[in-house]
Structure 1
Amino acid sequence: MTATANATAADRLARHFSRLTPETITDQAKTAVKRLLLDYLGVALAGSQTESGRIAGAYALADGGQPQSTLIGGNGKAPAAQAAFANAIASHSIELDDIDVFAYFHFSPPVFSAALAAAEKAGASGAQLLAALAAGCEMMERVSRAANPSLRDRCYHSTPTCGVFGAAVAAGKLWGLSAEQMVSAIGLAGAQASGILEFHGHSMQKRFSPGPGARGGLTAAHLALLGFTGQDTVLEGPRGFLKAFTDEPDPSQLTAGLDTPYRLDIEFKPYSCARPIHNAIDCALQIRRRDEPRLEDIDAILVERHPSWAHKHQNKAPESYHAAQLSLHFSVAVALREGRALLDQYSDRNLHDPAIVRLMRITDIAADPSLPRGVSCRMTVTMKDGRRFSAQVDYPKGSIQVPMSDAEIEAKFTSLAAPVIGTEAAGELVERVRGIEHGGRVGELMALTQRRRQAGRV
């Protein structure tokens, strides 16, 4: 490893994460990753039962191999890299996975899928898993902050492109990589960074996105463990990740504040759609509760968004639930109609409902640079008699400023997990996650995520 004075970003990050232990991660980070672990397991369990989740699970088993890591919501195990791939897809299949504070990426599909698969293969403890999750999330966020918003604006998907680095670091921690080997894992992760935003349609394309990131992270860590070396300048080098993927990078964000405790802020989704749409849903629900507008008397709906997101999520005629989850027009309409925006609302029955179709048609989006945040939203509902109802939301439900409580996260988990594994196993998973740093091996936790076939348990 290079001398400190000339150390590359990968060098410095590798040393930083090599020093991170279950005893040195902050209480704030520990709480954040425990809350996210429960949320992730519920989302992945429900996602495993979708068409995209089932196909990914079947793919993971198709080629055989050693049964090393659990397929969440399935009935078997697959090689670790394949399990990570399938679980990442499952956990991204219902649009209820977590989000960072800038709404650029999801931590858990690449990082948690890779870490759980690696931990189970290694026979790791819950305490070791928590440290690896904290390290992986920090690595992913550092890369995103160095690359965004330019990365997004160049049509790259931050979840896999940044997530592969976090997945590699998390797996490397669990497999005991030295600092030198961790540098190589980071370099090899960069060689696999990929993912584009061309998925706003009726296909399953978006669900696939985090799978290669999770699998690539395990591949990078495993090769590094075996002695395969990676490039230490992969992040900030003249032909590195930031140069290739961004126009306006900020390399200082890669290593800013390495000597101080890292605050890991993770936000959670109460609605089953793309996170930047949540502000509009909150506006719609506020107007619905406060003003009780008759849907048939609404003449127009104007949604003003910050220019950062104003031209995204525009689709007045989604053709599948996949597309509806990326449609602000559909989300606003269904929230006004049903007072909810969960997976049940993003359904075929609503795609062609005349009332919802009309509301989508009369909804327009405009940019307003005066709004304070990138995801800020102001909605004005104009009635046929001229009355106007307005609401503005800068911080959506589930954000750091308007958080979901532990009870709300547990209720979300149970609603998603119990139909797949049964109420008894779901309750036991809640208890195990609560005390995971004091519990046994990660494999014992993952055994509870297997689908139950017995009568009365599904």
Structure 2
Amino acid sequence: MSEPATVTLARHFASLTIGRIPQKHLDDAKALIADWFGVALAGSRADSGAIARRFAIETGGVAEATIVNGRGARVPAVHAAFANAIASHSVELDDVDILALYHFSPPVVAAALAAAERAGSTGAELLTAVVAGCEAMARLSDATNPSLRDRGYHTTPAVGGFGAAVAAGLLFKLDEERMVSALGLAGAQASGLMEMYGPSMQKRFNPGPAARNGVTSAVMAQLGFTGAATILDGQRGFCRAFSDKFDPEALTRGLGTEFPIYIEYKAYSCARPIHNGIDCALDIRRQMGADRVDGIRRITIRRHPAWAHYHQIPRPATHHEAQVSMNYSVAVALREGAALLPQYTEEKVHDPAIIRLSEMVTVVPDDGLPRGVSCLMTAEAADGSTYSSQVDHPKGSIANPMTPEEAAGKTHMLGDPVIGAAGVDRLLERIRRVETLPRAAELMELAQGSATGSHAAEETPFARAS
């Protein structure tokens, strides 16, 4: 009888060192950390991020880890991971996997940074932990999706707790046996529902428990609390409980030689599967001319069936709901030529001209489209002329990537209003050489400051390079 996948994975992760990770994945992890900081800094000023920060500070406890933009506030690592994960998911600009099913950084990077502060880890150890946590998330998602998503589970928190546990466990230097327990305890806390699209802050909350639970699992395992070695592929384990059709081989396929981590980045401040529609809208706006947009009388979006029935919200009630609305996002992109934070405000949500276009959008499933996030949009102008655009790979995807200058510009756009351009420059410089830092905590120390700037820079997407 073969050993449980949990044991095989625990052995791999507990023994992983930076020297065994291909340089590409180390570079990807640096890019992920840089993107996370920009998004978390902006998210710390959002209503949901501010509430999470207040919760962590008011709950209090041993000063182990720092809160992003908490003006130096230090709280228990579990609370820092929780608050920082929510902040980094609060403006809908966090990274995404290649299938647009989940976000790596809110649970993994938030947990890794908090655990690194608690453990006094080096930058090299932090970088290794981020790669390991992302690999754990990727393998679990590959094994259980799309069934997991289709059953109503949100992949980010469902598998994110395991990724956070692996990242924290590596930083706490858990051996194989205790890493097994950390994974088992993460499975005991696995959760997260797709019933999150609406006017509330619900979606922003989801990665918070995953990051917190991952750190909790690793701490408890470090203290000697044991967990089930069959938590992943057992008869009542995660895979069978969360998925009707799963691939157990994906849990360990190529383990040690392959790192199935494919990270994409957001160019727009909304749910990733909507981005193809925004790219189509911006292309059509260029084709027809901005001055003719208000005369549009019909908008049809052909969307792959994998996502066709999601994000159809013609009249969102709040900016939270607008950020998960294909209708609104297409409408505001057509009208304003952008889909960043200034386009997702309570004022914009109630703009009659945007509402008119939003309610005009019709979504049609089309299984002839090549990818799950593919969109084919057609707009009919007032004179009867039609304009079409098809996008299979949105801006920021692996096939259509941001340049390094655009990536740095995004972090500046989001972080400058919080810690200033010079502060973001210092942070990015440290991240570029994170593997040389004797103290990983230095990164969080740089992510502090008072918000004295404005959001004016956000009008020009990613224009400023560091």
TM-score (norm 2): 0.95
The residue number in structure 2 matching 1:320 is 318
Distance 2:256 2:28 in 1: 20
**Residue of 199, 202, 205 corresponding to 2:199:** 202
Q: Unpaired segments of 5 or more residues in structure 1?
A: none
Conserved 8 A contact 1:146-1:254: yes
Q: Between 288-297 and 447-456, report the one with greater CA deviation.
A: 447-456
Q: What residue number does 2:421 align with? A: 423
Unpaired runs of at least 5, structure 2: 455-466
Matched, 1:12 2:12: no
Equivalent residues in 2 for 1:442-457, closer than 5 Å: 442-452=440-450
Query: In the alignment, which residue of structure 2 is the partner of 1:79?
Result: 76
Counterpart of 2:21 in structure 1 is: 25
Question: Which residue, 46, 52, 67 being the options, matches 2:42?
Answer: 46
Q: CA deviation at 1:263?
A: 4.2
Q: Is residue 15 of structure 2 the alignment partner of residue 34 of structure 1?
A: no
2:327 is the counterpart of 1:329: yes
Deviation at 1:427, TM superposition (A): 1.0
* Structure 1 residues 33-432: aligned runs within 5 Å: 33-75=29-71, 76-292=73-289, 294-432=292-430
Q: Amino acid of the residue matched to residue 74 of structure 2?
A: K
- Matches of 1:331 and 1:182, distance apart in 2: 43
Distance 1:414 1:63 in 2: 31
Deviation (angstroms), 1:210: 0.4
Note the C-alpha offset of 1:296.
2.5
The residue type equivalent to 1:22 in the other structure is I
Asked whether the equivalents of residues 294 and 335 of structure 2 are also in contact (C-alpha less than 8 Å), the reply is no
SS state at 2:200 partner: coil
Given that residues 28 and 264 in structure 1 are in contact (C-alpha distance below 8 angstroms), is that contact kept between their aligned partners in structure 2?
no
Q: How many residues align?
A: 453
Structure 1 residues 243, 201: closer, same or farther in 2, change over 3 A? same
Contact 1:29-1:263 within 8 A present in 2 as well: no
Could you say what secondary structure the match of 2:410 adopts? helix
Separation in 2, partners of 1:422, 1:308: 41
Paired letter, 1:450: Q
C-alpha contact (below 8 Å) 1:172/1:221 kept by paired residues: yes
SS at match of 1:422: helix
1:249 offset after TM fit, Å? 1.1
Percent identity of equivalent pairs: 55
Whole-angstrom distance in 2 between the partners of 1:213 and 1:263: 21
What is the distance in 2 between the residues matched to 1:454 and 1:311?
41
SS of equivalent to 1:381: strand
Cα gap change, 1:301 to 1:454, in 2 (>3 Å): closer
How far off is 1:264 after superposition? 2.2
2:151 alignment partner AA: R
Secondary structure of the structure 1 residue equivalent to 2:19: coil
SS of the counterpart of 2:115? helix
Contact 2:271–2:323 (8 Å) recurs in 1: yes
In the aligned structure 2, how far is the partner of 1:261 from the partner of 1:371? Answer: 29
CA distance in 1, matches of 2:397, 2:330: 19
Give me the CA root mean square deviation: 1.4
Shift of 1:261: 3.0
1:233 deviates by 0.6
Query: Does the CA-based 8 Å contact 1:85-1:214 persist in structure 2?
Result: yes
For 1:141-172, what per-residue CA distance to the aligned partner results, in whole angstroms no more than 9, with x for missing partners? Answer: 10011111111111111000000000000000
Q: Aligned equivalents of 1:416 and 1:409: distance in 2?
A: 11
Amino acid of the residue matched to residue 442 of structure 1? A
Answer whether contact 2:138 2:260 (CA < 8 A) is retained.
no
> Does the CA-based 8 Å contact 1:57-1:71 persist in structure 2?
yes
